[in-house]
Amino acid sequence: MRRRTEVHTTNARARRAGFSLQGVQQRSCNTPRWNKEHKGHAMIPQPFRVQQVRRETHDTFTLELEPVRGGDGFAFRAGQFNMLYVFGVGEIPISISSDPTQPRVLMHTTREVGTVTKAMGKLRRGDVIGVRGPFGTPWPVEQAQGADVVIVAGGIGLAPLRSALYQLLAHRDRYEKIVLLYGTRTPNDILYRRELQRWRAQFDLEVHITVDRAMSGWRGNVGVVTTLIPRAPFEARNAVAFVCGPEIMMRFTVLELQRRGVPPSNIYLSMERNMKCGTGVCGHCQFGPCFVCKDGPVFRYDRVAHLFEKREI
């Protein structure tokens, strides 16, 4: 149940951004809703045991989880997220970064930024955390069949896109070109190094990496990820783009993709907002008339362009 103060705050915020919240409850976000199937109750965390902890970079780690109660694995779609609960500390949304075609292995890649993520970073094999989900809209991987697929990732934004890449590669013959453009702050921030090396060696996948700031020994591209777009090998009119990263990076990526000729209706973004319930009840994740937890996190750009252009909503 939304508390009165929360409703008041979101109403005020929406008014400041030029929106009316009239009808929000009925359904005024113009993105299609994703029908979720929850085996358990959406509000009750299920216990999952940490099977493996993998350090990706100095501040980022991947947890491999398995359900304490056993079962057939964790079915999800690439782009969806779970609410992860570190007992006694707090609960946060984290994208699923594993392969949706291999539901027995559930992975989340997290960057340590604050209270919960730092506590999560201290978990070890055998520890138990709570998992609610999967929540949210997926990347339109099936709908992109027959097209070139361009994946543009910034920093930790590669985590939810890795799931999409696994799915694309599992059905490689259904797509034309697949191009990954990935940017990080420094070479030390590059995630999934071994996988990227393997993907780079594949003839049917183009991988281009760039860093904002080079260090000694780096021989790759230097510059923000948008600088890779003009030269990237894809046919813009027949391309579908999946974009995830900091909001500022997504703004410039969308501009550059459109400059290259990718239709706005073929560009998809994954948005982040503070979340509590994950189920469209509390209003914490409001993005104009949309709730990111339910109508997103993956949005088709042309459907939210009018919101995306505002500095703060």
Which residues form the interface with ligand FES (CB under 6 A)? 275-278, 280-285, 291, 293
156 binds, among ligand FAD, ligand FES, none (CB under 5 to 8 A by kind): ligand FAD
**Burial zone of 8 (CB within 10 Å; 0-12 exposed, 13-18 middle, 19+ buried):** exposed
- Looking only at the bridges linking them, the beta strands covering 298-300 and 106-111 are unpaired
Q: Where are the alpha helices (DSSP H) in the chain?
A: 4-16, 24-27, 115-120, 158-170, 193-200, 247-260, 292-295, 301-308
Both tokens assigned to 75: 């079915």
Residue 208 or 284 with smaller CB distance to ligand FES: 284
267 binds ligand FAD (CB under 6 A): no
61 binds ligand FAD (CB under 6 A): no
Residue from 297, 298, 307, 313 binding ligand FAD (CB under 6 A)? 297
Least spacing, CB of residue 280 vs ligand FES, in Å = 5
113 binds ligand FAD (CB under 6 A): yes
Identify which of 184, 150, 187, 147 has the alpha carbon closest to the alpha carbon of residue 165.
150
114 binds, among ligand FAD, ligand FES, none (CB under 5 to 8 A by kind): ligand FAD
Residue 134 or 187 with smaller CB distance to ligand FAD: 134
283 binds, among ligand FAD, ligand FES, none (CB under 5 to 8 A by kind): ligand FES
Q: Does residue 144 contact residue 240 with C-beta atoms inside 8 Å?
A: yes
Q: Which stretch binds ligand FAD (CB under 6 A): 10-18, 20-28, 43-51, 114-122?
A: 114-122
Mapping DSSP to helix (H, G, I), strand (E, B) and coil, where does residue 185 land?
coil
Distance CA 283, CA 313 (A): 13
- Which residue type does 72 have? D
Contacting residues for 278 by C-beta, under 8 A, at least 6 apart = 42, 81, 83, 93, 132, 133, 135, 293
133 binds, among ligand FAD, ligand FES, none (CB under 5 to 8 A by kind): none
Residue from 24, 29, 275, 313 binding ligand FAD (CB under 6 A)? 275
CA distances from 69 to 13, 63, 66, 73 (A): 42, 18, 9, 10
- Which residue type does 14 have? A
106 binds ligand FAD (CB under 6 A): no
Residue 126 zone, left/alpha/beta (φ > 0; ψ -120 to 50; rest): left
Q: What is the DSSP letter of 3?
A: -
Least spacing, CB of residue 53 vs ligand FAD, in Å = 14
Least spacing, CB of residue 276 vs ligand FES, in Å = 5
Q: Which stretch binds ligand FAD (CB under 6 A): 18-26, 47-55, 112-120, 170-178?
A: 112-120
167 binds, among ligand FES, ligand FAD, none (CB under 5 to 8 A by kind): none
Residue 134 or 236 with smaller CB distance to ligand FAD: 134
Point out which residues bind ligand FAD (CB under 6 A).
81, 90, 92-95, 109-111, 113-117, 156, 159-160, 272-273, 275, 297
